[in-house]
Structures are given as C-alpha cells and as structure tokens.
Amino acid sequence: MSKITVIGTGYVGLVSGALLSDFGHQVICVDIDHEKINKLQQGEVPIYEPGLASIVEANCYYKRLSFTVSFKEAIETSKVIFIAVGTPAREDGKADVQAVLKAAKEIGTYINEYKIVVDKSTVPIGTGKKVKEIIEAVLKEREKQIPFDVVSNPEFLREGSAVHDFSHPDRVVLGTESKKALNVMKDVYGVLYLNETPFIETNLETAEMIKYASNAFLAMKITYVNEIADLCERVGANIQDVARAMGRDGRISPKFLHAGPGYGGSCFPKDTKALAQIAKENGISISLIDATIHANEKRKKSMAEKIQKAMGSVKGKKLAVLGITFKPNTDDMRESPSLTILPQLVQQGADLRIFDPKWEKEGKWRLEQIKDHIVFCQNEYEAMVGVDAIILLTEWNQFRNLEFNRMKELVHGKYFFDFRNIYQRKEVEQYGFQYYGVGC
Ligand code: UDX
C-alpha cells in the first residue's frame, strides 16, 4: 500500500482521494481553501456526489483518509503526490494552469526524498514537462538534488457517477518515461489492475493528449446527434429510434447519443475550447472541434427560440422549469444550458417557477441577474401551479414519472417541452398536453 497526497479537493481531487483510501492506501488531501478543509475535517463533504459522503466518513474513521492545509506535512509524508487542482478556461479559451504550476512549486519546496508527482488535472500538452522543470528549478534554488518522476494520469470520471466511474474505469492512462514510477502507479491502482482494467502505458504528452481527444470527441458526438435531431424534426423522423439504431452498430456505441439542449458542465465546454486553442497555437485547425463549439452555443440559444415559436410569444407567460443543473445527480450548474435558456426567456417577458432537487446550492447566485422573475419552488408540482407551459431541462429521475392527471389540474396552459426526450409523445398527449421533444 502506498502513502498518497492529493493536492486539490474539488470533484476530481476529493473523489480520487476518497476512493484511493478506499482501495486501502493512506491518503492525505491538501487544499489552500481553509474553510473547505475545516469542513472536511469535521466530516462535511462540500459537494453533492452520490455515495461519496459515506466513503469519506468510513475512511476517515479508519484513519486512512485525512485533510490538511499544510503542504509541508502533505508532501513530506507521501511517496505519490497527485495534482488535482482546477484548470478553468481563460477568456481566450486556453486552460488556466496557474494552480497546477503553483502546486509544482509547493512540491519543489517541500520534497525531501524520492517522490512520484502525478498530474490528474486536465492540462495542455507540455504541462507535465513544465511541472518537472519547475520542481527542478526550486530544487536548484534550495541547492538540493532529490530525485522525482512525473506521471500524467488523466481522470475520466463523470459528475453524478464519480464514485462508480473512479472504481470501474474503462481504462487507466499512465504517461511517464520512468519504469520505476510506472510500477508504483500500477500498485496504486492495484485493485483495478487485478480486475483486468486496461492500462495504457505511454509518454507524458500522449497521456495529456488522450484526455482532450476523448472529451472533445464525446462533445462532438453529442453535437452530431443534436444536429441530426434538428433534421429529424424537419423531415418527420424520430431521433430516439435513429440513435438507438445507430448505437447498435458496435463501431458507434449507444453511449452519448442522447439528443438534448446542448452539452454543459465543467469539462466539455472548457476542454473543447482548450483543444481548439492548443491546435491553433500549433498551426493546426481541428475544424470539427471549432464547429462543435459553435454548434453547441447555437443550440443552447435555439432552445428558448423553440419555446417562443411554439407558444407564439412568452411575453407575460408563466413557465415551470424542471431541472437547472447541467445533468442529474449533481448540484453543479457550470455551463448548464439553463444559464443560456432561462435569461433569454425572461428577456422575452416570461416569469419562471423553478424546481430542481439541488437548486439551493447554486440556483440563486447563478441566476442572480433574472432573480426578480423567478420563484424557486419546493417540488415539481408547486412549480406547475398556474403556468402556461412546463419545460423539462434536466432528466432527474423524479421527473421520469410525473403524474399528468394531477398536473392537468395545476397548469393553466398545456405546453410540455421535454428537452431530454424522457417521455413519449403519445403518453403525454393523452392528457391533453401539447408535446415538444427534441428531434421527435
Ligand atoms: C465529462 C466526461 O464524460 C468525463 O469523462 C470527463 O472526465 C469530464 O467531463 P461530466 O461533465 O461530469 O463528464 O458529465 P457527462 O455525463 O459526460 O455530461 C456532459 C454533458 O453532456 C451534460 O450536459 C449532459 O447532459 C450532456 N450529454 C451527455 C448529452 O446531452 N447527451 C448525451 O448523450 C450525454
């Protein structure tokens, strides 16, 4: 078993730290955010992620998992140091790697014996090399010669199913030049190795590239199916059947073929833009990715237009909104389609009654600019009282079995916009609602 440090306690850092301790390792998580660490030390998990809180609690209890703000303590005590800090998009679309480089400086400052530095943050190709250079430079200043290796180990977990994804990955990518580091990393992921999870062993740059190429491909796949959905609507075809049939082709696979209001979240928008920038800097245009970014922006905007077109106008209309997070099982609203669609509807004169099982965490501040036109509700039925239309934006499970008989009595108008295609037209129309899906 290894002694592991994880720098950064965001989604990726906290899930990685908790699960690595669950694999049996001794893990210490460090963060510059004192308040967050304070909460974690008291057993409070700052993000909503199914299954995570109990894993954190159990491993803290068994003293395999702990939290600190002391980089000195965290770095000195471990052999393997994961960097899992945020790399948000800058104004120009480039990934901001400042936090990663800062973590490298801390490592250089406190490294006391051989360490393996593992980058888990999504970073532009070449960042691993920079991390190495920074640690070497700090060591030079300290007039110390301490050996270390750098590994790129991108993370592919999804929010909402992060615990499962981390412990059942499709593959583990390990990019490094060092055989020694590779062997230690195989031990870190020993549980998965024994489960026959494929391990991709490659160099630093390739590992960094794999993450961007994968995420951008998935964003492109969703965008493709969204555009085909638009065409389906025009020609009387049904995207659900089209996608199901396409997915049966082993070369395509059924995953990430669900048409919707456009992709959001903390990764796809940021990673597609970063990849486009990396390509540009290298004198290459990946036109498919440029087109994906453009089409997704356009798509999010077109959703409000679709509502207006169906209703004639939304001026003076009351609309029930079901779901505002970018996907179910998360309280994260980063780049959520709701942040584009709802302000547009308000601008056109609509008032909104919103319910999302997790609206309380971010709903109010993210929609601050339209707050005078929003009533936040305690459940989906309260949101429907007296409205002219219902708009389903996020496919939370509790929206999959709506009581249409009850809804009939609550609503004023009969428009039902199902932007996640979780209902069948016939099913909804039998209650007198007018159904609008995407691409069907
Ligand atoms: C994603 C990647 O899946 C993960 O591998 C990476 O490490 C981080 O980014 P995440 O952003 O948590 O994970 O969510 P994901 O489930 O991939 O969904 C991203 C967006 O795409 C959501 O807005 C979702 O609604 C949308 N989506 C997804 C679709 O519109 N259709 C689909 O078929 C799948």
User: Residue with the nearest Cα to atom 27 of ligand 1?
Assistant: 263
Instruction: Say which amino acid occupies 324.
Output: I
pLDDT, residue 194, reads 81
Q: From its phi and psi, is residue 226 left (phi > 0), alpha (psi between -120 and 50) or beta?
A: alpha
Task: Retrieve residue 216's tokens.
Answer: 């951008």
User: Residue with the nearest Cα to atom 7 of ligand 1?
Assistant: 156
Closest ligand 1 atom to residue 161 Cα is 12
Cα–Cα distances in angstroms (integers) from residue 347 to residues 242, 316, 372, 373, in the given order: 35, 11, 12, 10
Residue from 256, 324, 332, 418 to probe ligand 1 pocket by mutation (most atoms less than 8 Å from CB): 256
Closest ligand 1 atom to residue 165 Cα is 5
What string of pLDDT tens digits covers the 440 residues of the chain? 889 999 999 999 999 999 999 999 999 999 999 999 999 999 999 999 999 999 999 999 999 999 999 999 999 999 999 999 999 999 998 999 999 999 999 999 999 999 999 999 999 999 999 999 999 999 999 999 999 999 999 999 999 999 999 999 999 999 999 999 999 999 999 999 888 899 999 999 999 999 999 999 999 999 999 999 999 999 999 999 999 999 999 999 999 999 999 999 999 999 999 999 999 999 999 999 999 999 999 999 999 999 999 999 999 999 999 999 999 999 999 999 999 999 999 999 999 999 999 999 999 999 999 999 999 999 999 999 999 999 999 999 999 999 999 999 999 999 999 999 999 999 999 999 999 999 99
User: Residue with the nearest Cα to atom 17 of ligand 1?
Assistant: 158
Instruction: Say which amino acid occupies 230.
Output: D
Looking at the whole model, is its pTM more than 0.85? yes
pLDDT, residue 55, reads 98
CA of 81 to the centre of ligand 1 (A): 27
Asked whether the beta carbons of 56 and 40 are under 8 A apart, the reply is: yes
User: Residue with the nearest Cα to atom 16 of ligand 1?
Assistant: 158
CA of 325 to the centre of ligand 1 (A): 12
Closest ligand 1 atom to residue 211 Cα is 7
CA of 8 to the centre of ligand 1 (A): 22
CA of 215 to the centre of ligand 1 (A): 9
Q: Which residues are part of the catalytic machinery?
A: 267
Closest ligand 1 atom to residue 261 Cα is 30
Asked whether the beta carbons of 289 and 220 are under 8 A apart, the reply is: yes
CA of 351 to the centre of ligand 1 (A): 29
Report how far residue 222's alpha carbon sits from residue 262's, in angstroms, rounded to the nearest whole number: 8
**Residues flanking ligand 1, CB < 6 Å:** 155-159, 215, 218, 222, 256-258, 260, 263-268, 326-327
CA of 316 to the centre of ligand 1 (A): 34
pLDDT, residue 95, reads 92
Closest ligand 1 atom to residue 255 Cα is 33
